[in-house]
Structure 1
């Protein structure tokens, strides 16, 4: 397990937290699990022990489930080790699809034309001797996986899910249960990112490595969540001011997933890990 892999997982968690359909509703999540209303936030300000403890239980809840998911994904990957190369290639294409979804480019009416243009560019690189035949097949395979999932409307399902929000209120250990339910149900925005990290985890050699990846992902989401819970009043101001950067977060997160998918498909991620002392 390389530090690069853990950093990618942690960064993916952070980008999930900052995503446009997660960050704005974080105050609502915290209010939901702590029972603190907007008026109480305005009156008290400063550090909120009640919101912090509720947030801590919430983070512990989804961290437990995510980490177990990582360990399980690796176990499943071990059972399918014989087909690991094929799974990595198809999985890489799925990760690229998630990246394009996260970046919001699939809403463009000209998406299929642009995808065809990318295919033509890849072919041009091959005929010009810039890429090898193996790289050509790997990249075209990614394009075909993306086109398949797009034509079958998976992107529409993901975008419909993005509109769902949690409502209600809980208290005490209920926050732990809500955190676990949050992990099982995912959140529409973290689904593509989390799914990509799970696919990567399935390629690890041991359950501990897979669990470590998902734990790092959980910390990427959990640490800022704890800060938001403890400093809820200040966090509300941050959300309002950060809104202008949501587009950047989408693009950066999408590019990260696309890069991860390409590296998985071409087998370059393992090579990079070895070079850096994995």
Structure 2
């Protein structure tokens, strides 16, 4: 299986488990199905098909939009082929920035004291001939993109969270439309991962490959969503118990994105893209 496809699936799964998405999933499910959380808690693990089918239509809604975004990202990427090198340089910096944001690194008080020495290390690696000129330039460019975004406080904007506080019954069509709205107005927690996958999609050779990446991302996000709808009462208990692991999910997601960003900057992504398992 293509490594980029696996990354897209893991990105979707990590988006679902992110600390400002997972806690509000019960509210989403309650809202789109009209089934109250307090009512579900008394069912002791029983399947609630109404919640499941509402979740199914919701997933279909955001899957349709995400897949279309993947196809359009590839099309736009092909149109901008002449500027591909600069797009990759800026894009790799953005992906690394999103990864650091997702991992919560920007919350460190002494972030700059750690980050600035890294900027000194990159030229050292070049002078030791461990990096080619192109790799050195791309890494320094990506490094600068992250630094600039941090200094203009872009990370503070991303840390704003969207919350839902509604409980009203809507139809399956309404659940589908809610999925569409969710896709266009994703929370900052999904934005970094989704933006990174969209950038990868823009670098694909065909529109179909770009659409596939976002479809797989949607599957990674959608499968646990459907399981949550199928076993809603058990999912509520899972959310409560899983909250202690949120920090590790953030770190895993951050490492994934930073790794992808570094591979893009070093032009190594194409070397592993065809690895199969």
TM-score range for the pair, normalised by the shorter chain length: over 0.9
Q: TM-score, normalised by structure 1?
A: 0.95
1:110-259 → structure 2 map (5 Å cutoff): 110-160=110-160, 162=161, 164-168=162-166, 169-172=168-171, 173-259=173-259
1:35 paired with 2:34, answer yes
d(CA) in 1 for partners of 2:219, 2:179: 14
Give per-residue Cα distances to partners, 1:78-130, cap 9 Å, x unaligned.
11011112111210110000000000111112112211011122223223333
- After TM superposition, the runs of 4+ consecutive aligned structure 1 residues lying more than 6 A away are none
* Structure 1, unpaired ranges of 5+: none
d(CA) in 2 for partners of 1:131, 1:170: 58
Counterpart of 1:273 in structure 2 is: 273
d(CA) in 1 for partners of 2:86, 2:49: 49
Secondary structure, counterpart of 1:88 in structure 2: helix
Say if 1:154 and 1:170 are closer, same or farther in 2 by CA, change over 3 A: farther
C-alpha root-mean-square deviation of aligned residues, in Å?
1.5
Contact 2:10 2:217 in 1 (8 A): yes
Contact 2:47 2:232 in 1 (8 A): yes
Contact 1:89 1:266 in 2 (8 A): no
d(CA) in 1 for partners of 2:36, 2:3: 40
Secondary structure, counterpart of 1:44 in structure 2: coil
Counterpart of 1:59 in structure 2 is: 59
Contact 2:135 2:265 in 1 (8 A): no
Contact 1:74 1:201 in 2 (8 A): yes
Q: TM-score, normalised by structure 2?
A: 0.95
d(CA) in 2 for partners of 1:79, 1:167: 42
Q: CA deviation at 1:43?
A: 2.5
Secondary structure, counterpart of 2:263 in structure 1: helix
d(CA) in 1 for partners of 2:39, 2:110: 48
Say if 1:190 and 1:17 are closer, same or farther in 2 by CA, change over 3 A: same
1:48 paired with 2:48, answer yes
d(CA) in 1 for partners of 2:143, 2:169: 44
1:77-116 → structure 2 map (5 Å cutoff): 77-116=77-116
* Structure 2, unpaired ranges of 5+: none
Contact 1:115 1:143 in 2 (8 A): no
d(CA) in 1 for partners of 2:74, 2:154: 25
Counterpart of 1:6 in structure 2 is: 5
d(CA) in 1 for partners of 2:28, 2:217: 19
Counterpart of 1:17 in structure 2 is: 16
d(CA) in 1 for partners of 2:178, 2:135: 44
d(CA) in 1 for partners of 2:205, 2:36: 46
Q: CA deviation at 1:170?
A: 4.1
d(CA) in 1 for partners of 2:125, 2:220: 37
Contact 1:138 1:265 in 2 (8 A): yes
